[in-house]
Copies of this chain bind each other. A is one copy, B any other.
Amino acid sequence: MRSKRKEKRQEALKRVLLEDPFLTDAELAARFGVSVQTIRLDRMTLGIPEVRERLKDVAVRHFDRLRALEEQDLIGEVEALKRDEYARSVLRIQPEHVFTRSRIARGHVLFAQANSLAIAVTDADWALTASALLQFVTPVELGQTVVMEATVRLKAGTRREIVIKGTVAARTVLEGVWTVVLMAHEDALRKKHATGARYKA
């Protein structure tokens, strides 16, 4: 005697809330043309928490879960740093770092770890990446921990050549050479206002 309407509505409810988890029961009720109570019962049977809980879930997931790759100055946890010489960081591959289907880490996640480490190892007021040459040697899977090592190979004025090596349990997953340009804060400001700022003369 199971109702088809009910089933359909609950499926739709799941879909709608996945897309927009911020809708209140009243808004959902209006959208589905049923009463608020019906929506509540649906949520109960589906095990979906109330708006404020859903809001909180989204908020905390993004807030402390590494505070999002893009908002961090440094991706991964720094384990060792010898100014202008060597640095090492580790990053555990989380679900949000991988391709949904293959569960293999996206290239730019590893790049981000490497790139931010290259910047960090210079320990300069600030530095910018000028160029990078890198090879993804082995795919990295969900749950693996990547150890990234940066070694300064060449120092020439404001330029640094940094060798990067990423490993997962002793197997190399990424190799590369970065060129980073250091700048004093004042230089930065001047450069910013010059129209033709370039990394290479």
Contact = CB atoms under 8 A, between A and B. Distances in A.
A129 B136 CA distance: 7
Contacts of A101: 125-126, 185
Interface in A123-171: 125-126, 128-139, 141
Contacts of A56: 22, 55, 59
B75 A108 contact: yes
B68 A58 contact: no
A10 interface: no
How often does this chain occur in the complex, in copies? Answer: 2
Contacts of A137: 198-200
Contacts of A135: 130-131, 199
Interface stretch (A25-33, A79-87, A109-117): A109-117
Given A58-B62, A102-B188, A138 B197 contact: yes
A85 to B, nearest CB: 21
Interface of A: 21-22, 52, 55-56, 58-60, 62-63, 68-71, 73, 75, 96-97, 99-104, 106-109, 111-112, 115-116, 119, 125-126, 128-139, 141, 185, 188, 191-192, 197-200
